[in-house]
Amino acid sequence: MRAWRPASCGIRTASLTPRRPFSITSTRPAGPKVNNAAELLARDEPADRVAVQGWVRSVRKQKRIAFAALGDGSTINSLQAVLRPEDAAGLSHGTAVKLEGEWKASQGAKQSYELQTSSVSIHGENDAESNPLQPKYQTPEFLRTIPHLRPRIPANALLLRLRSQVISTLTRFFNEEGFVQTHTPIITSSDCEGAGEVFTISSNDSKTSDQEPASENQVQVEHFFRSPKYLTVSAQLHLEALAQAVEKVWTLSPTFRAEKSDTSRHLSEFYMLEAEQCFIDDMESVMDLVERMLRAVAIDLKSSKVGKELIQMRCASEPAGGEHLEPSISADDLRTRWKGLAEETWRRITYEEAIKALQHGGFEVSLEDGLSAEHERFLASQSPNKTPIFVTDYPKNQKPFYMPQSTATPNTKGTSETAACFDLLVPDLCELVGGSMREYRSKELLEAMKSKGVAGDSLDWYQDLRKYGSVPHGGFGLGFDRLLCYLSGVGSIRDIVAFPRWYGRCEC
């Protein structure tokens, strides 16, 4: 397309001396303001001259008239354009176009207004026939092989906007709560938490190495940082250091697990929201923070355009691609989820109480067993009104070294054999958040590290945090992509992450 237009700020200089703005070489008059599809569709009065740009979602050519449905990702809804057949000649599914014309009351029933198109400009190439993404049902599994095209499905574009909106809400929420947003490192020295399920990094200077690789599936690597380094499995330890500088910190960062799991809830690369707060006396404060945060997200979502379109996606007879996102839930179930987050009271039960509830529900389970995914699902399903449920004070031997005994913090139900920790379970999805107080006593921390076999040079710095100005603190980690699954009713984390990575799979 060659629609010349004035450069609004086109001041250029020669030899660093100021000069007049560029002269505009085109004789074409400036066109009407370009709206996005959502803006135009919201307009319920006619307009003589409007312009809109986007991609053709479908085109129907008749003898005397043609119709094109246009979308630009600003809404899952399509804008109907009426064209002269000759103007529609070059259009097919996927073509990027600019349309100009008149915004008029529609004759059809599907939308109240439509674009009577007077001018069509095609932006670039489109080979609709060979496009792997076709305007018909395609399985989620297939679509995961073309993540670079999949976001063009209106439902997937909506999920991109959902992610953006939730980030925005969280940024505002934590600002208002006085938390400082931080960037914690991705490359770390410690692999302690992941119990070996970490990615190791290396520079690939080895490409020029003389040495032969030991096998086809192995390469020689060099330690760029002198010793082995890993991709972080959690920002928590670093956040604890930063919290001792500014009291309350959070981050939304990528985290990694080299787990060979093949489930709808796990990826090798995913975003975690983690927060850490000093000067708190007990774990209730941490759970309160989690509650306020998720309520804020749900309240924002309920009243937003993104929220309305998520509901619409679950209602529609033509679900704009929502059918690709299996297993899907109904609009009513989605509303109930949001209401559960936004309004209802959430329960807090101890692990011991959870075990009793499971036994009462017919499960053969003892305190030592730990909770399986099936157990968690049962507990979450028992929660009335689809509310999340906190399970607290798990047996200490099931938990990482940094979690203190429950008795080390006040207002606790637990014992010296239980940890001051919690999981937040939500219906269907189960674990969404995990949090705890942190062992802030130097001696107790060192003992815990020794007994878990993680004491060593690489965590000396973490022990320092307890030696110098130690202070009671706690925090939590939220699986951010899981949260988006829960909010949207998308069943698999592989469909909510634009470019998902899991064992053996890393497209693009």
Among 284-292, 328-336, 397-405, 430-438, the segment contacting a second copy (CB under 8 A): 284-292
Return the residues of window 467-486 that contact a second copy according to CB under 8 A: 467-472
Which of 42, 245, 315, 373 is close enough to bind a second copy by CB under 8 A?
A: 245
Check binding of 423 to a second copy (CB under 8 A).
Answer: no
Which of 177, 193, 247, 344 is close enough to bind a second copy by CB under 8 A?
A: 247
Distance CA 424, CA 287 (A): 9
Distance CA 104, CA 85 (A): 19
Which of 66, 115, 120, 231 is close enough to bind a second copy by CB under 8 A?
A: 231
Check binding of 506 to a second copy (CB under 8 A).
Answer: yes
Return the residues of window 133-152 that contact a second copy according to CB under 8 A: 133, 146-149, 151-152
Say how many residues touch a second copy, by CB under 8 A: 163
Helix (H) or strand (E) holding 47: strand 47-61
Distance CA 395, CA 67 (A): 64
Check binding of 36 to a second copy (CB under 8 A).
Answer: yes
Neighbours of 310 (CB within 10 A): 28
Distance CA 232, CA 407 (A): 30
Q: Residue 461 has which token pair?
A: 């710095």
Check binding of 185 to a second copy (CB under 8 A).
Answer: yes
Return the residues of window 300-319 that contact a second copy according to CB under 8 A: none
Per-residue x/- marks for a second copy, 431-460, CB under 8 A?
A: ---------xxx------------------
Check binding of 394 to a second copy (CB under 8 A).
Answer: no
Per-residue x/- marks for a second copy, 71-100, CB under 8 A?
A: -xxx-------------------xxx-x--
Which of 104, 339, 377, 413 is close enough to bind a second copy by CB under 8 A?
A: 413
Nearest distance, CB of residue 67 and a second copy, angstroms: 18
Q: Beta partners for 254?
A: 271
Check binding of 109 to a second copy (CB under 8 A).
Answer: no
Q: Beta partners for 389?
A: 347, 425
Which of 87, 274, 284, 376 is close enough to bind a second copy by CB under 8 A?
A: 284
Amino acid at 163: R
Distance CA 137, CA 320 (A): 10
Check binding of 58 to a second copy (CB under 8 A).
Answer: no
Amino acid at 476: F
3-state secondary structure of 250: strand
Distance CA 351, CA 368 (A): 11
Amino acid at 447: E
3-state secondary structure of 86: coil
